Structure 1
Amino acid sequence: MKVLIAGGGTGGHLFPGIALAEEVVTRHHKNEVVFVGTERGLEARVVPQAGFPLEFIRARGLKGKGLGQLLLGLLTLPLAFLESFRILQKHKPDVVVGVGGYASGPVVMAAWMLGIPTAVQEQNALPGMTNKILGKFVKVVFTAFEEARSFFPEGKVQLVGNPIRRKLMDNYLRSHVAHQHFSVLVFGGSLGAKGINQRVVEALDSLQDLKGQLSFVHQTGKNDLEMVRKGYADRGFQAEVVEFIDDMSDAYARSDLVVCRAGATTLAELTVCKKASILIPFPYATDDHQAVNARAMVEAGAALMFREAELTGQMLAEHIRLLKTEPARLKQMEKKAALLGRPEASKELADVCVDLMVKAYGPNGRERAAKAETPKPSRSK
């Protein structure tokens, strides 16, 4: 089976695609996966590191853009479609799966026009514009939240959860690594989050009496790296401050509490890794979807949530202190998070991809279908 996965831009779109790809290639040595994204997206760095081939198209975002960027995106769209057709003809995938992001739209639509089985994977409770449109055409829509079902045609939706990368699945059986201090993991997505970075540094002033009992692992993104490093150093806290965490599996395993955004992929990781969390939704997320995602965690008792505009450093410090000093409450939040975990999501997505291929081409995929369509040479009379 050959699967083409289109989309990316951010970790929230890309990492579920990586998880699906890992599941597909480990099932059979002849299975293949190729990604399609943009040169500006996170996929340009992460996909080659993960060992998968990557093709680029020149797609751009349309929603929420200024007039100049909107016009540029519209002008680029026909070129993105032409590039998508070229890539599909080159790789001849059995199934195409869109995971959201700029590249997803043109590639999935081009695949649909060519009669290739298609699906989309929606990570959030409130679907993005691209997936809402694609959902009308594709054969299957994979969702992670029940709330997303109403946005897609009846009968197409399969609620399977968000796929988790294979390395992070280690945490489903091994959720903790022994460590000396109460460890807080802080991150704001693949690009960092200034609001979270600032609140955490401010919180340190109200945690001085716990300085010898706390340690931090903090992903800042590029812009705030030195500011955050200085903040910890000036206040005497033990902290590992980095621009980007490559080994999130290890970071989760070493943490007692996570302070982060509420992107759907992040929440899926928290539940599979069984982590208590303080969620600070991205305030400018489309349709405020991160807050909707976070409420599901809060209502289940797995997390606390605070709006960035209302949160102060002192408030954040109070709740870090609360969860450190009440281990029973922390443990209960971990149990609630684990109940929401969907460790089989990658497997279920891959199973459906196989079904789509078999229904379209038979058990041997497009190779068999192509042979059947090849005209036999005529016999000379």
Structure 2
Amino acid sequence: MTRATRHYVLAAGGTGGHLIPAFALAAELSQRGHHVALVTDDRGAALPGKPDFLPAHVIPASKLGRNPLKWPAGLGAILEGRRMAMRLYESFQPSAVIGFGGYPVFPALLGAMACDIPTLVHEQNAVLGRVNRFFASRVDAIATAYPEVARLDEKHAAKVHLVGNPVRAEVLSLRDEPFPAFTADGLLRVLVTGGSQGARVLSEIVPDGLAMLPPAIRQRLQVTQQCRAEDLEAVRQRYRSHDIPAELGSYFEDMAERLADAHLFIGRAGASTIAELTAVGRPAILVPLPIATDDHQAANTREIVKSGGARMIRQEKFTAKELAKQIQALAQRPETLATAAHAAWNCGRPRAVKDLADLVESFGANELMDVIRVGANNARGASQGEAVGQGAGA
């Protein structure tokens, strides 16, 4: 089918959780022949992974916190960001503006609404974020990553579309690869990551937890762990003292390959992390970040834990003894780990970026295509992922 070239603006705050799905959508829309621009903040413009073709427009943004003395400055930044966004829209002429969460989305969507441009938001987490919550009644469509999203009012159900979380192409390409062979006497490869906010507790607990495993499991361990740079030497010494082979680093460029080789993941429960785990099908022990807004990381684990693809441990209960207990339950028999991997895989939504792009394309198409495309996405959402689930098992 011949597609008409259109322009779209993606708006996202400067964190990977917001920008990774935005980058994935930008690549898909560009591949379909459209022109895409990014509205973000300074952090977002500098984040690794931004496609070369995607121009980044940095606009002022701020949150209106609890201190009234800071409201005038914050409001001033928002209004200036709105003016800058409107100037961009005047020249770029977007068919729609899509928000992915974060404070730059606020002025970007305000500007779009002032210019009468269709607007959409994508919520990566299982709890509707604050900015998306504010705009829920005002936008034309709400794309979600999970069948159940807390803080999303039922009165908006007609414009909710379940699409999933877009993941990086190099991760999605691993979906049809088999789970790595795991035998009763083979290596048990463990991948540990925690992000900049959460790596320290993992660095403190995981080495000791692995050391508490029965010798038959401990002697087969091969660990890859991402740590804060300042923690690397201390963690290295912990592993040495336990005689457990471990490769440590503050950043791994080939994370997709390491995920492909892993038999078990231990880490936080950010939306992008869970999307990648379910895209590839990897069992996990998840430790939600306790300070995450609205406890959204714990909510993110609900679907994969219920399926049997992961186990969740609250940070206050995350001890070496508890970790060893959960690993032993998963890894004592090869079939247990393989079954968990398949359960995680079944939670994946591999068409997420395509379904989101279809929804976005419905804004700017002719009226007939609007009905077809939006209707199809609503059908997926209304069935709580049934169509997507069938795709995952294909």
Superposition TM-score, scaled by structure 1 size? 0.85
1:121 maps to 2:122: yes
The answer for the alignment partner of 1:297 in structure 2 is: 304
**2:198–2:268 CA contact under 8 A, matched in 1:** no
Please give the per-residue CA displacement for 1:125-165, whole angstroms capped at 9, x wherever unaligned: 11011001122221110011222277142311001111122
* Structure 1 residues 83-98: aligned runs within 5 Å: 83-98=84-99
Letter in 2 for 1:171: L
What is the distance in 2 between the residues matched to 1:33 and 1:202?
47
The answer for the alignment partner of 1:367 in structure 2 is: none
**1:192–1:222 CA contact under 8 A, matched in 2:** no
The answer for the alignment partner of 1:375 in structure 2 is: none
Q: CA deviation at 1:303?
A: 0.7
What is the distance in 1 between the residues matched to 2:52 and 2:239?
32
What is the distance in 1 between the residues matched to 2:36 and 2:135?
21
Q: CA deviation at 1:331?
A: 1.1
Give secondary structure in 2 for the equivalent of 1:224.
helix
**1:35–1:54 CA contact under 8 A, matched in 2:** yes
| Pair 1:190–1:91, CA change in 2 (3 A) | farther
The answer for the alignment partner of 1:187 in structure 2 is: 193
Unaligned runs of 5+ in 1: 364-381
RMSD: 2.6
Unaligned runs of 5+ in 2: 1-5, 371-394
The answer for the alignment partner of 2:239 in structure 1 is: 232
| Pair 1:85–1:157, CA change in 2 (3 A) | same
What is the distance in 2 between the residues matched to 1:57 and 1:115?
20
| Pair 1:192–1:51, CA change in 2 (3 A) | farther
What is the distance in 2 between the residues matched to 1:79 and 1:106?
8
The answer for the alignment partner of 1:241 in structure 2 is: 248
Q: CA deviation at 1:262?
A: 1.3
| Pair 1:131–1:252, CA change in 2 (3 A) | same
**1:276–1:337 CA contact under 8 A, matched in 2:** yes
Q: Percent identity?
A: 35
| Pair 1:347–1:218, CA change in 2 (3 A) | same
**2:198–2:289 CA contact under 8 A, matched in 1:** no
Give secondary structure in 2 for the equivalent of 1:161.
coil
1:6 maps to 2:11: yes
**2:9–2:96 CA contact under 8 A, matched in 1:** yes
Instruction: Decide which moves more: 278-287 or 74-83.
Output: 74-83
Please give the per-residue CA displacement for 1:181-212, whole angstroms capped at 9, x wherever unaligned: 21111111365532222211332432483454
What is the distance in 2 between the residues matched to 1:72 and 1:197?
39
What is the distance in 2 between the residues matched to 1:50 and 1:13?
18
What is the distance in 2 between the residues matched to 1:190 and 1:144?
23
What is the distance in 2 between the residues matched to 1:68 and 1:315?
46
Give secondary structure in 2 for the equivalent of 1:278.
strand
Q: CA deviation at 1:223?
A: 4.4
1:326 maps to 2:333: yes
1:131 maps to 2:132: yes
Q: CA deviation at 1:222?
A: 4.1
**1:193–1:221 CA contact under 8 A, matched in 2:** yes
Letter in 2 for 1:342: R
* Structure 1 residues 251-266: aligned runs within 5 Å: 251-266=258-273
1:250 maps to 2:257: yes
Letter in 1 for 2:19: L
The answer for the alignment partner of 1:165 in structure 2 is: 168
The answer for the alignment partner of 1:19 in structure 2 is: 24
What is the distance in 1 between the residues matched to 2:343 and 2:278?
8
Please give the per-residue CA displacement for 1:275-295, whole angstroms capped at 9, x wherever unaligned: 111011110111111112212
Match of 2:292 among 272, 285, 295: 285
Please give the per-residue CA displacement for 1:36-67, whole angstroms capped at 9, x wherever unaligned: 211134x522244665221212223446x767
Give secondary structure in 1 for the equivalent of 2:317.
coil
Count of residues paired in the alignment: 359
Superposition TM-score, scaled by structure 2 size? 0.83
